Amino acid sequence: MIKNWKTYGVLAAAFFTAAGASAHNGLRSGKIEQQLTSIQSPQDQLVFASYAVQDNSAAGLVKQGRAALEQNKLAEAQQFFDKALALSKSKDNNVKIMIGEAYVSSGVKDLSPAIKLLEEATSKDTKNANAFVLLGDAYLHNKTVDGGRAMASYDKALAADGKFAKAHLRKGQLYVQSRNFTQAKEALDAAVAADPNYAPTYLELAELYYRAEQYPKSSEYIKKYVSMAENTPETRAKYASILYLTKDYTNAMTEIQSVLKSDPNNIAMNRLLAYNYYDTKQYDKALEAITAYFNKYDEAKRIPSDYEYYANILVENKKPQEAVAVIEQGKKLDPKNPLYDDLLAKQYLSLKNYPKAIESYKAKFATTPPNNTDLFYYGYAHELNDDFKTADSVYTIITTKNPTYAYGHFWRARVNYSLDPETKAGLAKPHYEEFIKLTSGDKEKYKKDLITANNYLGYYYYLKKDKANATKHWQEVKALDPANADATNGLNGLKAMK
């Protein structure tokens, strides 16, 4: 299955990813408050706050080390951290926790130094819930991910403080990451029970319910989050994103435009501006917005659905060849992503370039197994290219895997009729018969195609001079469509038959 890049891209910009780095500090703002989360007791917090304000001693060195990490100056950061540890002769747990938190929040890939220090700190202070959460985050975001140890660390945090909402939240995020949504919901509910005022939990619940396609609940939680969080462009962007994803396009557009007034370089909102215009069929505005977006952000900032939307917008603006060029541009950047081959195939089908469509489907299948929809379009491309035998072999794969899927048999009937247009061999007969058998319980739903099937069988039996069966099928057509000319002519022809 092709990843839902539209949803992924919007959520990636809008939400803290499951146990993601941007969630590490919750909604807290300011460097000192971020660092205070690493200290457990009020007394320790006062001492550390004093250090941070003075920007000296161990706390000041850690602060400088954190700044170096954020600039990816790893060696320089380590020098600051070594000096901070030396000042306390490596005995001050708070310094170790501060350094661990600096690593975890910086986004560096190798978190083994943080893991080492946080393991030491938690072994000496088994009641420091926040240190255990930081340790879990370090395990989860290290270059060698260890989800098991991360979960164990979050459990230890809750053993130290069962009311620590962040630990419940982290468990919920980790469960979401492993697609265990039932336990994720339990953990997030526990986070709300532990601290109803901890806003990040409501953001995670919004995403969880979005994944479950329970959009009203998702919208309820994002509104709750926004009402509690800081009223910043970042927060409003999250709100706009969930409004968009829940298809509340009118209110989403209001929020998108509001964010862009105060934060014109917000990439997620510039993206959604174009998406929203397209989804509301304002194609000229969509083209203007997506063109500006592509001019403003290079390929490193784009996601696959950007190319998909750009191509679709170009098609709606009567520029199909330019749409192909855009998709090709995306494919060059990520040649193994099957989305681009799928998009190319569909564009080539619309342009009636069937050989190119077939070629694109083959490229897609080289990287991802085809589903029934893929197989239909692949077979259909062969059918439109007048390669009826190959089309039949493709449709046969569908009916073999899904023998009760009625339309698979209808498609086989259609291409076999093309292989036998004079109905001399009756190649389509068994397939139309199977289609009729499978759809007999809902004739109204399949009415149009049942007319086609019964007309074919009426004519088949007419050629065989089998009046009884020919009459049966043409009368079935008349029951579905009393004015059907083919059935009327067929029945009249039977009357003249000797």
Question: How does pLDDT run along the chain (498 residues), one tens digit per residue?
Answer: 344 555 555 655 555 333 333 322 322 222 222 333 333 344 344 434 443 444 457 889 999 999 999 898 999 999 999 999 998 777 788 999 999 999 999 989 899 999 999 999 999 999 999 999 999 999 999 999 999 999 999 999 999 999 999 999 999 999 998 889 999 999 999 999 999 999 999 989 988 988 888 888 888 888 888 888 877 888 888 889 888 988 899 999 999 999 999 999 999 999 999 999 999 999 999 999 999 999 999 988 999 899 999 999 999 999 999 999 999 999 988 888 898 999 999 999 999 999 999 999 999 999 999 999 999 999 999 999 999 999 999 999 999 999 999 999 999 999 999 999 999 999 999 999 999 999 999 999 999 999 999 999 999 999 999 999 999 999 999 999 999 999 999 999 999 887
How high is the pLDDT of residue 170? 96
Given a contact cutoff of 8 angstroms between Cβ atoms, the answer to whether 225 and 253 are in contact is no
3-state helix, strand, coil in the chain (%, to 5): 75, 0, 25
Given a contact cutoff of 8 angstroms between Cβ atoms, the answer to whether 141 and 118 are in contact is no
Return the SS3 of 202: helix
Report the predicted TM-score, pTM, of the whole model to 2 decimal places. Answer: 0.60
How high is the pLDDT of residue 14? 55
Question: What is the Cα–Cα distance from 172 to 189, expressed in whole angstroms?
Answer: 9
Return the SS3 of 263: coil
How high is the pLDDT of residue 16? 39
DSSP single-letter state for residue 358: H
How high is the pLDDT of residue 239? 86
382: which 2 tokens? 């062969």
Helix axes 406-419, 447-463, angle to 10 degrees: 40
Question: What is the Cα–Cα distance from 215 to 210, expressed in whole angstroms?
Answer: 6
- CA-based nearest residue to 154, from 184, 181, 124: 184
358: which 2 tokens? 């077939």
End-to-end CA distance of the chain: 57
Given a contact cutoff of 8 angstroms between Cβ atoms, the answer to whether 327 and 338 are in contact is no
- CA-CA-CA-CA dihedral for 253, 256, 258, 261, to nearest 10: -130
Cα dist. 396→130, 154, 378, 402, 416 in Å? 59, 51, 12, 10, 11
- CA-based nearest residue to 65, from 53, 54, 74: 74
- CA-based nearest residue to 114, from 143, 91, 88, 154: 143
Burial (Cβ within 10 Å: 0-12, 13-18, ≥19) of residue 219: buried
355: which 2 tokens? 């050989």
Question: What is the Cα–Cα distance from 100 to 117, expressed in whole angstroms?
Answer: 6
Return the SS3 of 420: coil
Domains plus CATH for the chain? 281-369 (1.25.40.10), 376-495 (1.25.40.10)
Given a contact cutoff of 8 angstroms between Cβ atoms, the answer to whether 383 and 416 are in contact is no
Given a contact cutoff of 8 angstroms between Cβ atoms, the answer to whether 170 and 204 are in contact is no
- Tokens 């917008």 correspond to what residue? 313
Question: What is the Cα–Cα distance from 173 to 111, expressed in whole angstroms?
Answer: 20
The whole-angstrom distance between residue 71's C-alpha and the CA centroid of its chain comes to 31
453: which 2 tokens? 């099937």
Q: Give the count of beta carbons closer than 10 Å to the beta carbon of residue 64.
A: 19
Given a contact cutoff of 8 angstroms between Cβ atoms, the answer to whether 7 and 127 are in contact is no
Beta strands in 345-492 (DSSP E): none
- CA-based nearest residue to 481, from 442, 441, 450, 440: 450
- CA-CA-CA-CA dihedral for 99, 101, 107, 110, to nearest 10: 60
The whole-angstrom distance between residue 105's C-alpha and the CA centroid of its chain comes to 25
